[in-house]
Structure 1
Amino acid sequence: MPLTTHQDGGDDVRTTLRSTFAQAGADGFVHVRDIDSGAEFGHGADSRVVLASVFKIPIALEYARQAAAGQLDPARRHTVTAAYRAGGSGTDGCLHDVAMSARDLAFMMMTISDNAATDLLLDVVGLDRVRETLDSLGFEEFGVASCAALDDDVRRELSLAADRSIDDQLAGVPPQALLALGANDPERSPSSTPREVTALLAAIWRDEAGPARACAEVRDIMRQQVWQHRLVSGFPDGARIAGKTGTDVAVRNEAGVVEYPDGKRYAVGVFLRTHTPATRQPLADRAIGRAARAAVDQLRSRQ
Structure 2
Amino acid sequence: MSVEDRITKIFDAAGVDARLHAVDVDRGGEVALGADEPVVLASIFKVMLVLEFARQAAAGQLDPTERVVVRAADRLGGWGTSGCADDVEVSLRDLAYFAMSVTDNTAADLLLRRVGPDVLPLLPAELGLERTRIVGGPRELLASMYADVGAGGDDEFVARFPTLSPDRIRAMRVFDPERTTSSTPREVTRLLELIWRDEAGPPAATAMVRALMGRQIFWTRIASGFPPGVRVAAKTGTLPGLHMEAGVVEYPDGGRYALAVFAQTRSLEFRRIDVDLAIGEAARAAVDALRAA
TM over 0.5: yes
Q: Does 1:155 align with 2:146?
A: yes
Q: Which residue of 2 aligns with 1:4?
A: none
Q: Which residue of the other structure, out of 37, 40, 47, is the alignment partner of 1:57? A: 47
Counterpart pick for 2:76 among 81, 86, 91: 86
Give the match for residue 46 of structure 1.
36
Correspondence list, 1:223-242, <5 A: 223-242=214-233
Q: Does the CA-based 8 Å contact 2:124-2:133 persist in structure 1?
A: no
Which of the residues 88, 98, 123 maps onto 1:98?
88
Q: Look up the match of 2:286.
A: 295
1:136 corresponds, among 126, 130, 154, to 126
Other-structure match for 1:6 = none
What is aligned with 1:222?
A: 213
Q: What CA distance in whole angstroms lies between the structure 2 residues aligned with 1:171 and 1:214?
A: 41
Q: Distance in 2 between matches of 1:259 and 1:51?
A: 23
- In structure 2, runs of 5+ residues without a counterpart are none
After TM superposition, give the deviation of residue 180 of structure 1 in Å: 2.8
**Mapped pair 1:68 → 2:68:** no
Q: Determine the structure 2 residue equivalent to 1:209.
A: 200
Q: Is the partner of 1:254 in helix, strand or coil?
A: strand
8 Å CA contact 2:243–2:275 kept in 1: the answer is yes
TM-score normalized by structure 1? 0.92
Do the aligned residues in 2 keep the contact of 1:84 with 1:116 (CA within 8 Å)? yes
Give me the whole-angstrom Cα distance separating, in 1, the residues matched to 2:70 and 2:20. Answer: 35
Query: What secondary structure does 1:247 align onto?
Result: strand
In the alignment, which residue of structure 2 is the partner of 1:267?
A: 258
Structure 1 position 29, deviation (Å):
0.5
Deviation of 1:165 after TM superposition, in Å, equals: 6.4
Answer with 276-285 or 176-185: which moved more: 176-185
Would you say the 8 A contact 2:67–2:91 is kept in 1? yes
Aligned residue number for residue 5 of structure 1: none
1:178, CA displacement in angstroms? 2.0
SS in 2 for 1:59: helix
C-alpha distance after superposition, 1:203-253 (max 9, x if no partner): 000000000000001001100100011111001111001000000122110
* Alpha-carbon separation, structure 1, partners of 2:195 and 2:214: 13
2:268 aligned residue (259, 277, 280): 277
Matched, 1:190 2:181: yes
- Runs of 4 or more, structure 1, over 3 Å off, are 165-169
Partner amino acid, structure 2, of 1:49: V
Query: 2:67, 2:83 → 1: CA distance?
Result: 19
Normalised TM-score (structure 2): 0.96
The percent identity for this pair of structures is: 48
Q: Which string of whole-angstrom CA distances, capped at 9 and with x for unpartnered residues, describes residues 236-275 of structure 1?
A: 1110010000001221100000000110100111011221
CA contact (8 A) 2:149 2:157 kept: no
Which residue in 1 is equivalent to 2:168?
177
Structure 1 residue 162 displacement after superposition: 2.3
Q: Provide the secondary structure at the position in 2 that maps to 1:171.
A: helix
The CA deviation at 1:38 is 1.6
How many residues were matched structurally?
292
